[in-house]
Amino acid sequence: MWLPLLAVLGIIYLYRWHRQSLIMENVTNKYVFITGCDSGFGNLLAKQLDRRGMKVLAACLTEAGVENLKKETSNRIQTVILDVTDSQNVGSAAKWVSSIVKDEGLWGLVNNAGIEVPSCNNEWLTKEDFLKILNVNLLGVVDVTIHLLPLIRKARGRVVNVASVAGRLTMCGGGYCMSKYGVESFSDSLRHEMNPFGVKVCIIESGFYSTQMNDGKSHKESLKRCWEKTSEEVRKAYGVEYFGKTYTSVDIMSWFWSTKLSRVTDCMEHALTAVHPWTRYSAGCDAKYFLVPFSYLPAAILDLVLTIGQPKPAQAI
């Protein structure tokens, strides 16, 4: 009884594996624009695609980022300074890209630039703290994409947006998870709109990774700043002991953050070069085998698991 079913499932699996293993020819003739190339995923992807022979247009936030990237790549790579929160700067970068790709159009856009802090209890934050993250992680993605869409449509290319498992599971307060939920929504609507033009939109849902921009030290420093600027009433409600345990828990969580960034950049590369890219990529074992499946559980179970071991505020009932 089960043998025919297993055979059918095996055939489906082999078909999907074969279909997704098909890689395009002549990828070296295609231009790819990547944001956030100073460090982390963007920096590694720029080097990875450069080694593959693709025409990489790398956007860095700082001059130091540009210089460091140029030292480790070939002379094919071209760089530009870009602050994705500055719409005028984004417009100038789009014109720069257009002057390079000309009638060929832009094959790939990788919206990678992002920040994670401040991320802590919502009550410890201000509106400006939320805006700081949303302007980079969500509105920056929207602005860059809209400016470059005409070039991408011309090439019938790809848009690769870096979201996160935090776009499915809200595991902390602040603007980070909110921004990643927004990236998921924006990507879905964009995919529907661009499909008639032959443009594919892919989402990278990464797990937990440690980069120069995201490590335990930066999270702890941000957490301390947020705590210190809250009102005396808020600090009294939560208590010093609560803050201390929350502060210490960052070290425990950082033990589980992976440093194998290539698991994410390999997904990005596949999204740019595969004949049939996936709509969503679960980047990392934690995302693929635990966090994404976990996100489908009922809210009551999710709430219970996500709050296990969480310290209680001083004035908790």
- On the question of a cis peptide bond just before residue 118, with omega within 30 degrees of 0, the verdict is yes
b or e along 285-302 (b: 16 or more beta carbons within 10 Å of the residue's beta carbon)? ebbbeebbebeeeeeeeb
* Residue 132 one-letter amino acid: K
**Beta strand 280-283 with 200-206: parallel, antiparallel or unpaired?**
parallel
b or e along 147-164 (b: 16 or more beta carbons within 10 Å of the residue's beta carbon)? bbbebbebbebbbbbbbb
User: Which position among 31, 176, 209, 242 bears the catalytic label?
Assistant: 176
For CA atoms 179, 180, 181, 182, the dihedral sign is: positive
**Beta strand 280-283 with 31-34: parallel, antiparallel or unpaired?**
unpaired
Q: Is 174 left (phi over 0), alpha (psi -120 to 50) or beta?
A: left
Asked about 31 being catalytic, the answer comes back as no
For CA atoms 187, 36, 45, 199, the dihedral sign is: positive
The whole-angstrom separation of Cα 184 and Cα 162 is 9
Which of 114, 106, 5 lies closest to 57 in space, CA to CA?
106
Residues involved in catalysis: 176
